[in-house]
Structure 1
């Protein structure tokens, strides 16, 4: 009774006619979009003379349709003209009927046009050539403000080569001799560059140069919070296209420390994912075996094993997969395995991830366990052995269950080999595993 009374009180009262009946509000037909049939918020007129709501007609055109939905006539141009008269009439109608709960539609901002974006980019380039840092910075801020206004503006900005202009100016301003004088404008460009992701090939060519990498590494290790976040996101774009660039990045003083710091004290989820992604490629790099060993050794000395295990304890899926990928790469080296053997959480945490996160996480976890068990030395066996530890945390039972529910051929092969290696010990060992871990598990067949 009380709840129904509250619902009645929460419902706005509708105006009533002379007989006391509620008055039904009807939206005028010419105020409705012919596509959505809803009240238009940003009416625009096509070359056929028909007016639509901007969002509806842009969706129609983006779907590959180049005819007028109402008349079915071919569009001479896909450009639309704002219908200010209709919009003003709709706003007046909304005000007149505010008693019905109708809110006045806001006056929409004029969307960015390709010509407008190109004009700003030309002014930005000209300012950069004559060394006018303030003028260049002003143009960058204009682009950022346009992008913040709407998703449509952002698409227009990306489509007109903004990323290439940003990256070429960033490279030009990254001259080591004058770098300190240009930090402010470089930071502004770096911030704006994250708005035009994913970067095109031409843009990345400028950013992968030696001078650009030096600047990005500077922001990564010594910039403010925003600079560190933006630099690691741009570096991820570079490494995604050119994995071999991790060799150049790794030899830059302080770059690896900057990555570790972002994993340990992440600014946001995206920066942590990007840091783990780059760290994985640093470890997995095969372009220079000497550098690979040197980089991995340096990362291990910074406490990467402990850091990854702490990350894995309670991480979302994508972060977990990246951390497992980096850990799997560490276990390729003898020193990496020794660090893993020495950490008490290694086997409990890794085994826990089997069948708990994703197929990729399961595959990586099995790979890690296989590498640790397969390469166990005699000295480690005498100390208790990684096999015994694996059994104590339920590895044998989990691997059996993995074969039952299905997995890839590679994972199946490694799981089978692990079961053979553990078979001699499991009969005399108590399997410590919580059956609740698999209450929602379904077979794949």
Structure 2
């Protein structure tokens, strides 16, 4: 993971900040979006950990590091948990652990070194009991490749080639060879649980979803309410359900219910749309149906939970640049600022992540500043109980690139706060604070001199030596700038 993060040198500041915000969401123990497939996939791509080989190599490297250090800490456990989530995305179902008793699953993998490679599934590295062939000619265990395809992947995991079709052909010849080898070597194949056939299950589920979508337009409020609640639950379960709900016309029906005069139905509808928006295609479909304007209205007037989920939905939808513009044009930034200022802890976090995404757009920066975003952000820096210093600094770093933002932020009291964070904050806090101070100082040398008077020099030198890679770069740039500023009368 350290090697992946070192590649930050090849990214822009904006990409660094997007990466940091994604990491904050995924590592959060209280944020419901820490298992959001869209965020995890985006993070895996940014860290270049999106293939099975990448993940196995990274896990091996972490194990080696822990063995060398003689133990592991909370940070290592967070990285292992993250790798576990990445593995689920690509279809590997396992728990990453560095110690503790060896499980049956682990023992089976030790045995796998004796099994011919061609008998092992490329995804799980376990012996195949039901081998099937995909369009590229590669063979996988049916259960594993089905999980991969149900996660909306359309490529061959081993070759990376796009699949011309999604049909799975049983590999009877290989299965017979596996059975013969097992008999000869007294190897017992792992027993598979029996389930209804996936075709039957899918047909039944599709029929249920289709009926629920029709019920969204029922003239009976109870029927509508029951349907939207069930769709909300189904949309949370897996990627396949999200695609099916959209394909059966569920998005227009849900958008209409955003205007329904029942707060509970509104809440279910906006939450279902939030879940559906995890899928990239659905983001565009939801915006095309006019949902953004209605979501903003619920953000202004809905229940607490509906407002929080509306903010989370805007965060998800605004991952697309065209939707960032729509949210800004529909005046969605002021109610997000209001939620940031007056919401629950979860509401503040949802608002902060949405505002961060929206502020990546230059026009939205001005709108956020005019909506009064800076005072609540500054208060978040002082409120240690909320644990939102990283979020606040990340947004401030975007805003200081705008002249209006620099004018409002560039006060001596704020510079003193930044110096305090640089002196005693977390490594991530320090990195963001140094970046903000550098941006301010490059545009106003008097603020750089003020920071020197507040005692920033020594902690800055320490960061230049021992900080994160990005923090070191920023600290050295700021120190160079300070050496020039000291000669300014």
TM-score normalized by the length of structure 1:
0.58
Partner residue of 1:218? 297
Out of 394-403 and 311-320, give the one that drifted further.
311-320
Q: Which has the higher contact order (CA 8 A, sep 6+)?
A: 2
What is the CA–CA distance in structure 1 between the aligned matches of 2:474 and 2:239, rounded to whole Å? 47
Kept in 1: contact 2:299–2:310 (CA 8 A): yes
CA pair 114-354 structure 1, distance change in 2 beyond 3 A: farther
Q: Deviations over 1:87-142 (max 9, x none)?
A: xxxxxxxxxxxxxxxxxxxxxxxxxx766644432221222356555323213334
Is it true that 1:72 corresponds to 2:150 in the alignment? no
What is the CA–CA distance in structure 2 between the aligned matches of 1:256 and 1:154, rounded to whole Å? 27
What is the CA–CA distance in structure 1 between the aligned matches of 2:246 and 2:105, rounded to whole Å? 28
Pick from 349, 352, 369: which aligns with 1:276?
Answer: 352
Pick from 241, 246, 252: which aligns with 1:161?
Answer: 241
CA pair 211-352 structure 1, distance change in 2 beyond 3 A: same
Q: CA deviation at 1:314?
A: 3.1
RMSD: 4.1
Report 1:87-166 matches (<5 A): 117-128=205-216, 133-142=221-230, 157-162=237-242, 165=245
Q: Deviations over 1:383-426 (max 9, x none)?
A: xx313320132211111111221442x54343233223334777
Kept in 2: contact 1:213–1:249 (CA 8 A): yes
What is the CA–CA distance in structure 2 between the aligned matches of 1:235 and 1:303, rounded to whole Å? 19
Partner residue of 1:263? 340
Gaps (5+ residues) in structure 2? Answer: 1-102, 109-122, 131-186
Q: Which has the higher helix share?
A: 2
From the CA coordinates, give the structure whose radius of gyration is larger.
Answer: 1
CA pair 129-300 structure 1, distance change in 2 beyond 3 A: closer
Report 1:130-209 matches (<5 A): 133-142=221-230, 157-162=237-242, 165=245, 168-174=249-255, 179-180=259-260, 185-192=265-272, 196=275, 199-209=278-288
What is the CA–CA distance in structure 2 between the aligned matches of 1:129 and 1:226, rounded to whole Å? 24
CA pair 332-268 structure 1, distance change in 2 beyond 3 A: same
Report 1:6-405 matches (<5 A): 72-73=188-189, 75=191, 78-79=194-195, 117-128=205-216, 133-142=221-230, 157-162=237-242, 165=245, 168-174=249-255, 179-180=259-260, 185-192=265-272, 196=275, 199-209=278-288, 211-240=290-319, 242-253=320-331, 255-269=332-346, 271-285=347-361, 292-293=362-363, 295-315=364-384, 319-342=388-411, 344-354=412-422, 356-376=424-444, 385-405=446-466
Partner residue of 1:289? none
What is the CA–CA distance in structure 2 between the aligned matches of 1:420 and 1:186, rounded to whole Å? 55
Kept in 1: contact 2:366–2:402 (CA 8 A): no
Gaps (5+ residues) in structure 1? Answer: 1-55, 81-112, 148-152, 286-291, 428-445
CA pair 73-283 structure 1, distance change in 2 beyond 3 A: closer
Kept in 2: contact 1:372–1:386 (CA 8 A): yes
What is the CA–CA distance in structure 2 between the aligned matches of 1:297 and 1:202, rounded to whole Å? 29
